[in-house]
Structures are given as C-alpha cells and as structure tokens.
Amino acid sequence: MKTLHDLHRPLGSTGLRVSPLGLGTVKLGRDQGVKYPNGFTIPDDKQALRLLACARELGINLIDTAPAYGTSEERLGPLLQGRRNDWVLVSKVGEEFENGQSRFDFSAAHTRYSVERSLKRLKTDRIDLVLVHSDGNDLAILEQSDVYQTLADLKREGKLLAFGFSGKTVEGGLLALREGDCAMVTYNLQAREEKAVIDYAAAHAKGILVKKALASGHACLANGEDPVRRSFELLFGEPGVASAIVGTINLQHLSDNVASVAAVLDQQS
C-alpha cells in the first residue's frame, strides 16, 4: 500500500512539515450550502475516528477545519485527544455559518474571539496555521480590517504558529503572502487563475495549500484520462505547492487519492 509518510514537505518557511495531501473536514460538521456533486450523510463519531485513523495510516498529517464548517471543530477536539501532536491543524477566522447562512466579521475583536474559541473547541493550546476565510473582497479585508494584525499578535502570543489567507483573487493572494506565512488558493484542471500566487510563494519561501484541487469532486466526473491523476500532476508540477486539501469521508477515495499522489511524486523525483 502506497503512503505519504516519507513524502512530507515544508510549508514555506513556517517550520511546519505537511503531507502533500491534507484532510478537509467540512463533511464532519456541515451538510448545508456545500458544493459537492453528490449528497452525503455526516459521519458519526465511530466513522469519523475510522477516517482519521485511516488518514494517519496513509501518512496524512494535515487537517483543515474552520468555524464555518458547522460542528467540525467541536467534533475534532475530542476525536484528536491524545493524538494532537500527530497532526498539523489548520483552522480559519472571518466566516461564521449560522442557520444555513454565512456571515463575515474581520474585526480585531472577532478575530481574537474566534481563535480563542477554536482553541477551546479543538482542545489544544495552539493552532498550527490560521487562515482568513475571505468573502471575496480580498484586498479590502487585508487593507481595511485589523484581521491580519490581530493574527500577527496572536502568533507572537504563541496561540498560533503561522497565519495566512484563503482568498479568491490573485491580488489578494499576493498581498497576503507579502505580509503572512501562507495562502490557500484554488488551483485545478478547470481553474488556474491563481498560478501567480503559487509562483510568488515558490520564489519567497511562503506556504501554499490548494483548495478545490479536484474541483470539489467535479473533476472526477470528467471523461477520458484519469482526471484525479491529471489533477495531481498539475498541482505537484508546481514547486510552490505544499499540499492539496481533499474533503472526502470515503475511505476508498482517500486511499485512492493517496496512491495517486504518491505515484505522481515518485514519478517526479
């Protein structure tokens, strides 16, 4: 069985080493307003533990969560107890999801409140990486709110090890990397607009995580060549990319994705 244990790599200059595939956990806590091609049932605790154990066995050490992922953080805290140090935890600030609706708050007070709440929910004394969950107005958030300065303060206090931005524009990604440690970008076979952000990260030792690497599952609906393999060949052909976040709760899909990533990285080495 192919695993990622020997394929962990640096996340920019954060000092964190991450598996090239990360586990996205929106499906552990939220089934409304998500853009997947098929419906799903939120797994119970036993199923969630099995998913985490499978991820760990496959060499995945990166978990991506957020307050906007419903009950994901609250569930992960107890599920990870006793194994916190096995994982690099990524969470977010800025977006809240309540009563089926998203709302955004990038103020200093809310940013600090959100991080403190995530620490409690995740039952940990530090979050490895905190990203700003953009509403799409990337430059306005970075230039007109106190969110980045507050994250820098929290980093100095030791409550997080690194911070960055999960945005939607090239301009936002570039500014976010100049001031922060990491950007999360959309990059896949159908959407390559943010390549300039990946290139900047590679040139300046900044971290890049990729969201929607498989187009939220839609890549798997393509015809012809293996779209998953092609997707990972595209991503890991970019030296700036550290890890791709995949949000599956299907153990076979997870194992297949790991095998594809391992084969692509073996081929490139």
Q: Which of 35-49, 76-90, 162-176, 232-246 has the lowest average pLDDT?
A: 35-49
Pick from 90, 85, 61: nearest CA to 182:
90
Domain ranges of the chain: 12-217+237-251
Phi-psi region of 70 (alpha: psi -120 to 50; beta: other; left: phi over 0): left
Give the H or E element holding residue 172: helix 170-179
Residue 32 binned pLDDT confidence (cut-offs 50, 70, 90): confident
- Asked whether residue 81 carries a pLDDT value surpassing 60, the answer given is yes
Nearest to 168 by CA among 215, 212, 135, 198: 135
Residue 218: per-residue pLDDT: 52
The pLDDT assigned to 40 comes to 81
Tell me which of 36, 69, 113, 148 is the catalytic residue. Answer: 69
- Whole-number Cα distances in Å, 158 to 89, 142, 150, 226, 255: 14, 22, 13, 43, 35
**According to the per-residue pLDDT averaged within each range, which of 14-23, 38-47, 211-220 is highest?**
14-23
- pLDDT for position 220: 52
Q: Is 187 considered catalytic here?
A: no
CATH superfamily of the domain spanning 12-217+237-251 = NADP-dependent oxidoreductase domain (3.20.20.100)
CB 234 within 8 A of CB 189: yes
Answer whether 213's CB lies under 8 Å from 188's CB. yes
Average pLDDT over residues 206-219: 82
